[in-house]
Structure 1
C-alpha cells in the first residue's frame, strides 16, 4: 500500500467554481484509470464540499464507472484551529474507505466525515462548525467507519450513477438561482430573464410552492424556452404537486416547469449546468423536446419521472 499526494488546487472553498470542479473531475479520472490505484481521497475546505462531490459524481460516465469501479472519497475538517482537530481522523477514515472495494456496495463518489459515509447526491452540511455537520437529511449515511473497519448499510442510490455524457471541455450553460420570498412579485426573476439564461432554479417554500406574484415571470421564462426547475428551501423531503392554487407546484407543472424532487437547489443548478453544456443534450432538445424534458426530470428525480411521464 502506498500514498500519493498530487495537488490540483490550493485555495479557500468559497472561491471554488463549477469550472474548477470540472477540472478536478478530469484529474480524478486520470488517476483512477491507473491499475495500481485503489481509490482517490479529495480534501477540500468544507464550504462547498457537497457541491464538488456531487459534480464529480454526475460527471462520471457509466462506461467509466464500469471500467473503474473504485471509490472517490471527499473529506474536510470543520474546525482547523480547534485543539480537537477533526481533520486527521476524517482523512484516515477516508483513506480506509478509498481502499475498500466498492463494487456493489456504495455509490462511487461519497463524502466521509465524523466516521460516517454519505452518498454525494444526498450529503449536506447542516451546521457551520460542528464536527458532525455532515448529514443526508431524510436518508442517513450509507455506511460508517469504526476503527479500522468500513461498513456499508445500503447499495448505490439511483441518483449516483452518473449521466453517461462524455467529459466536457468547458461548462457553457448559464443557470442562475432565484430564492422565493414572502410577497415576491417576480421582479428579481424578470431581471434574471433579461440575462437570457439556459435554465433557472427557483427555490420555493416547503413543498416548493411560490408566491402568486412570481407566476407571470415563470410563465414568461417557460414560453421563451428556458428550463425552470422548482426546488425547495427545506433540508429534506420532495418537491411535489398537490392542490392547484396561484403559485402552487401544481400550477408550476401546468406551466411546464420541472421539479427538483429531493435534489437540493445548489446541486440542481450544477446538474442543469452540466447537462445543458453537452452537445448531445442540446441536439436532443432540438430534435425531441418532450423526451429531453423527461430525461432532465429523470436526472433530477427518477421517482417523479415515473409519476409524471410513466
Structure 2
C-alpha cells in the first residue's frame, strides 16, 4: 500500500527566488523515507503561498485524496504553506469521509536555510499517514514530531519551528524514535453533510469581525445585504461593548451570527455574565455559541454549512459539537 502525497507549495518547497521544489524533489531530500517500505505517489497540485489557497482548491484535493484511497493508498500527506494550514486542516476535517489518516504538514525554514525543518516534518507526516494507530482521527497536522488534531491546532508563532500548538488540548500524539504514539483519541465529530459546489461557495460570503476597544460597529452597517453569515471575535469569554449588542442582535435576525473569543484559547461562556453586551445577552439576542472554536475555524465551518444549504437549526447543532 502506498502513501499519496499532494503538494501545494509553501515554504517547504521554496528553493530560492521563484524556484519551487516538486514533490519528487521533496521526497528525494528525506532520509529514511524509503525505509518506511511504502511507495510515495506524488501529485503536484499547486506551487503557491498558502495565502492563495481557496476552499474550492482544498475540496478538490480532498476529492483527489479520496480517489487515492479507493486506489489503495493507506494514507494521505499534504504539504503546503503554514499561514493558512490551521484553516485548511479544519476544512479537511469537516469533509474527510475515510478512516485513513489525512495528514498536513509544511515547514517554517525553507531548504536554502541552515536547518530546514521540511524533511523531518515530511518524514514524520508520512509515518503518521501509514500508521494504523492514526486511523479514525480525521485530519491531522504533524510538525516537530508532534501530532495535532485539526479541530484544535493553531499557528501560534510567526517564525519559530515550534509554531504549531493546540492551546486547548495539547498534541494528541508524538513521533518517538520513528514510532507513532497516539496519546489521546478524541471522538470524530459529525462533518458537514453534502458537497459545497463551486457556485455555492462563490455565492456564500461569511465575514469575520474582531471586536476592539471603543468599537462603534460602523463597519457592520449593511453587512447583511452583502454577506450570508458573520463570525464575531469578541472580548474574553464572548463580550462586546454595550452599544454593539443591539447591532449584532439585529444582524442575527437576518443572517447566522456566531460568537467566538479573540483570545486564542478557551471557550466563550453562556451564562456567567448578564450585562448588556455579555455572552448571555448576546446569545439571548440570537447569536450562535461558537464554543471552543477560534474565529478562523468558525468562519470555515459556517461557510461550509451555508454553502451546503443547512438551516439555522442545523448550523446551531453543528457548532454545539464544539461546546
Determine whether 1:237 maps to 2:266. yes
Q: Extract unaligned runs of 5+ from structure 2.
A: 1-37
Q: Which residue of 1 aligns with 2:43?
A: 6
Cα distance, 1:70 vs. partner? 0.7
Looking at structure 1, the residues matched to 322 and 204 of structure 2 have their Cα atoms a distance apart, in angstroms, of: 26
Alignment of 1:100 onto 2:136: no
Give the aligned partner of residue 197 of structure 2: 169
Instruction: Work out the CA distance in 2 between the residues paired with 1:221 and 1:128.
Output: 34
Are the counterparts in 2 of residues 186 and 216 from structure 1 also a CA contact under 8 Å? no
Report whether the alignment pairs 1:86 with 2:105.
Answer: no
Other-structure match for 1:297: 316
How far, CA to CA, are the matches of 2:322 and 2:46 in structure 1?
37
3-state SS of 1:110 partner: strand
In structure 2, what is the equivalent of residue 220 of structure 1? 250
CA distance in 1, matches of 2:187, 2:210: 28
1:11-50 aligned within 5 A? 11-34=48-71, 36-50=72-86
Partner of 1:307: none
| Alpha-carbon distance in 2 for matches of 1:5, 1:136 | 29
Match of 1:289 in 2: none
**Aligned CA-pair RMSD:** 1.6
Q: Give the C-alpha shift of residue 136 in structure 1.
A: 0.4
- Whether contact under 8 Å (1:186, 1:215) holds in the other structure is no
Question: d(CA) in 1 for partners of 2:322 and 2:107?
Answer: 34
State the distance in 1 between where 2:43 and 2:76 align: 11
- TM-score, normalising length: structure 1: 0.86
- Classify the secondary structure of the residue corresponding to 1:144: strand
Describe how 1:142-157 pairs up with structure 2 within 5 A. Answer: 142-157=172-187
Give yes or no for contact 1:183–1:213 (8 Å, CA) kept in 2.
Answer: no
Q: Structure 2-normalised TM-score?
A: 0.83
Partner of 1:211: 241
CA–CA separation in structure 2 for the residues paired with 1:157 and 1:8:
31
Q: 1:277 Cα deviation (Å)?
A: 0.9
Give the 5 Å matches for 1:118-157.
Answer: 118-157=148-187
Residue equivalent to 2:216: 185
